[in-house]
Homo-oligomer: A and B are copies of this chain.
Amino acid sequence: MNFASDNWAGASPKVLEALAHGSAGIAPAYGADDLTREVKARLAALFGHEVGAFFVATGTSANSLCLAALCPPYGAVYAHDEAHIIGDEGGASEFVTQGARLIGIPGVGGKIGLADFKAVAGKPAGPASRFPLPSTLSLTQASECGTVYREEEVAALSEAAAAFGLKVHMDGARFANAFAFLCSLRGDMTPGDITWKAGVDALSLGFTKNGALLAEAVVLFDPERADEVEWRRKRSGQVLSKARLVAAQLLAMLEDDHWLDLARHANRMALMLGHGLVTAGHRLGFDIEANEVFAVLPKAMIPRLRQEGALFYEYPRASLAADRRAGPDAELVRLVTSFATMPEEVEQFIKLASQI
C-alpha cells in the first residue's frame, strides 16, 4: 500500500518499452536528434501555441529555470507559503535565478487567493531598489494540497499579476492530474486554456511523477526567452547527452493520451480512497481534485496502519481551513496515489481505516 508519494513508483511499461526502442541505433547527442524535434512539435500542438521547450532531469530544475527566465536576480517571486519552490527544493530557485527572493503568500487549500495576492504584491515597493523588484507570480497546479486552480482563478491572478508588472509561472509537477480533473468538469478543456490563454508565461511540465522514468519539460509561451534559457540550462548541467532517450519517454507519454490515462487513473484512485475514508467516518483536509488525499486520522490509528504495510506521511498543512483542523487526538496525513496504484491497495487501506 504505497501512498507515500507518486515518485515512489517506477516507470510506466509503455515508457520502458519506448526507452528500449529509442535506445537502438545512433542519434546526435544533446538534443539535435529527430525524437527531440518531434516531441517539441508535439508539445506546440498540444498547447496550440508556439513554445520554447527544454527537457531537464528534475522538477526542481524545471521550476528554477522557468523562474530564471522570468525574474531577474534582483527580483521577487510570489508563491504560496507551502509551495514546493519555497519548502522543498533547497533554495534551487535562489541559486538558479542568482539571488531572487521568494515571498510566501498564505491561502486556504494550498491555493493563493486573489485578495491575498493583491495585498502582498500590491504593497508599494517604496523608493527604487530598496526591496527586490516584484517580478513573478508562481502558481502550483495541482497545488501541494491536491487542489486545482480553475481556469478563471488562474486568469484572475494573472490579470492582477500583469497589472503589477509581474510574469506568471506555473509549477506543473502534477499538471496532468490537474488537467485531467479540469477536463472532468468541462469536456472541451485544452492545456492551452489553463496556461497561456489564462496568462501563464512559463510552465514546468512534469512527467516523472505521472509515470516517466525521468522527464520534465520547461515550456515557454514566449519563445523569445528561449536562447537565454538554453544557456542557463547548459550551465545547470541539464543538457542531457542522450537526449533522445528523454524524448522517447515524452513521446510515449503523449502518444494516444497515455499521460492523461495515467493521470486519470491516479485521480480515480484518490477519489475512491477519499470516498472510502469519508464513508468510514473520517474527515478530509481538502477537497480531492487531483491525486492526493489529505485525511484526518486518529493518532492511535497511524502506527497500526503502518504496521499493516501502509506507506504515507503525516503532513501538517497550515493552509487547512479552520473548520477542518485536526483535533488533539488526530493528525493530518497525506495519501498520494499514482499511475501504479491498484484498487486492491485502496480497498485494503479503507478496510483498515474502517476497522482499526
Contacts and interface: CB of A to CB of B under 8 A. Distances in A.
Interface of A: 2, 4-5, 7-11, 16, 19-20, 22-30, 32, 56-62, 64-65, 72-74, 76, 87-92, 94-96, 98-102, 126-133, 208-209, 213-214, 227-228, 230-242, 244-246, 311, 340
Tell me how many chains of this kind the complex includes: 4
B230 A129 contact: yes
A181 to B, nearest CB: 22
Contacts of A245: 10-11, 213-214
A87 to B, nearest CB: 6
Nearest to A340: B26
Contact of A237 (B7, B9, B98, B238): B238
A98 to B, nearest CB: 5
A2 B19 contact: no
A4 B9 CA distance: 36
A75 to B, nearest CB: 8
Given A88-B130, A98-B73, A60 B234 contact: yes
Contact of A234 (B10, B29, B89, B227): B89
B30 A127 contact: yes
Lowest 8 CB-CB distances: which A-B pairs, in order? A61-B237, A10-B23, A90-B234, A57-B57, A74-B231, A95-B235, A7-B241, A129-B234
25 contacts: A2-B26, A7-B242, A8-B26, A8-B27, A9-B26, A10-B242, A11-B242, A16-B23, A20-B20, A57-B240, A58-B240, A60-B239, A72-B228, A73-B95, A88-B130, A88-B131, A89-B234, A91-B100, A91-B101, A92-B235, A94-B100, A128-B227, A213-B245, A236-B236, A236-B237
